[in-house]
């Protein structure tokens, strides 16, 4: 998650050699080479943010593929159903035509039943002709519907192919970013033990500073302390998932990404919500941050690429990033965009 640490000139650490090696795996050509731990931390945060952007885009396209597959399946089923109806009507129309031809226009069984009532027989013949014309109209309409459904089914197939191609492209981009992050984590692990401790301390300090500033603003003075029945169930679900690893695109039960965790937590509470953090921000009911309550979702970053589940007392549960696990963290430690309430 991207954070902007304060200048720590007094904490410049002798990690230039390691940082330069880390840069080979991390930085874009136009980026300045990180020479201090704060700069290394900022570079790692930038990469993790890029990874979340790629993940959310992939998840969105993947969701579209799933929905489109269902649409294609439904259309194909409708085509088959229409074809069966059309075939059956064609068979019935043929039987009726042959029967009328043999009986002079009126089915033999009808003539037998109505032989003692000539007027009724004539009425029945008129009804038979009307039924025949009606059958033809239905067959014409069904044939037209069949053609329209086939066209829609073909178009849906084309759209599904386009979405799958887009998903492959997104997956390739995501794989590239994952490779860079893997290398970054390897480089980070090669830091001296003291440097790793200092890097972790720097991350905690940055988070604590952001949380303290957030709390001091008074935002928690009016925040709710109890969630709705569904919200409490969502919090209980997320609490049970603590310690499970972050995995891109995962929705449980063994691992999660950020929006995979929040969507599954609310699904466990009986409320289906959008899969990605960006759609959660776009489609769910927004509430003021000062009015949030346990169970609400906190959306982070200007591009809504991270989400957590607020659990009260200024804390949240989230799946942070690759290499980390589902954890409890200060809710204001990241850049808050806003809050949404799934069961508003």
* Residues designated as active site: 258, 306, 318
Q: Taking phi first (over 0 means left), then psi (-120 to 50 degrees means alpha), and beta for anything else, what does residue 296 get?
A: beta
DSSP state of 326: S
What residues have CB less than 8 Å from 340, skipping those under 6 apart? 280, 281, 284, 285, 286, 287, 296, 297, 299
With 0-12 / 13-18 / 19 or more C-beta atoms within 10 angstroms meaning exposed / middle / buried, residue 328 is: middle
Question: Quick one: CA dihedral 319, 323, 328, 330, positive or negative?
Answer: negative
Task: Please provide the distance, in angstroms rounded to a whole number, between the alpha carbons at the two ends of the chain.
Answer: 28
Continuous H helices in 6-117? 16-26, 37-102, 108-113
**Residue 69 CA: distances (Å) to CA of 31, 83, 164, 275:** 42, 21, 10, 17
CA triple 12-17-22, angle to 5 deg: 95
């Amino acid at each position: 998650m991207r954070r902007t640490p304060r200048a720590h000139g007094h904490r410049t650490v002798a990690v230039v050699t390691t940082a330069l090696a880390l840069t080979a795996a991390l930085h874009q050509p136009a980026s300045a080479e990180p020479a201090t731990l704060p700069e290394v931390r900022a570079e790692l945060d930038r990469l993790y943010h890029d990874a979340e952007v790629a993940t959310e885009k992939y998840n969105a396209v993947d969701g579209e593929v799933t929905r489109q597959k269902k649409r294609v399946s439904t259309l194909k089923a409708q085509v088959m159903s229409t074809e069966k109806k059309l075939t059956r009507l064609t068979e019935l129309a043929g039987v009726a035509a042959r029967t009328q031809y043999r009986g002079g226009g009126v089915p033999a069984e009808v003539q037998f039943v109505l032989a003692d009532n000539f007027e009724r027989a004539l009425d029945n013949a008129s009804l038979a002709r009307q039924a025949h014309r009606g059958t033809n109209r239905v067959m014409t309409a069904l044939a037209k519907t069949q053609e329209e459904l086939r066209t829609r089914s073909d178009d849906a197939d084309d759209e599904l192919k386009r979405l799958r191609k887009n998903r492959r492209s997104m997956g390739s981009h995501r794989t590239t970013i994952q490779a860079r992050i893997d290398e970054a984590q390897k480089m980070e692990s090669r830091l001296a033990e003291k440097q790793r401790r200092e890097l972790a301390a720097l991350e905690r300090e940055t988070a604590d500073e952001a949380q303290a500033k957030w709390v001091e603003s008074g935002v928690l003075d009016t925040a709710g302390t109890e969630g709705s029945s569904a919200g409490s169930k969502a919090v209980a679900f997320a609490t049970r998932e603590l310690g499970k690893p972050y995995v891109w695109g995962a929705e449980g039960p063994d691992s999660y990404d950020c929006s995979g965790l929040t969507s599954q937590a609310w699904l466990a509470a009986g409320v289906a919500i959008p899969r990605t953090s960006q759609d959660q921000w776009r489609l769910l009911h927004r509430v003021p941050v000062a009015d949030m309550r346990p169970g609400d979702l906190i959306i982070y970053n200007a591009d809504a690429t991270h989400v957590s589940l607020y659990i009260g007392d200024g804390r949240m549960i989230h799946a942070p990033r690759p290499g980390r696990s589902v954890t409890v963290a200060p809710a204001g430690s990241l850049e808050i965009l806003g809050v949404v309430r799934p069961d508003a």
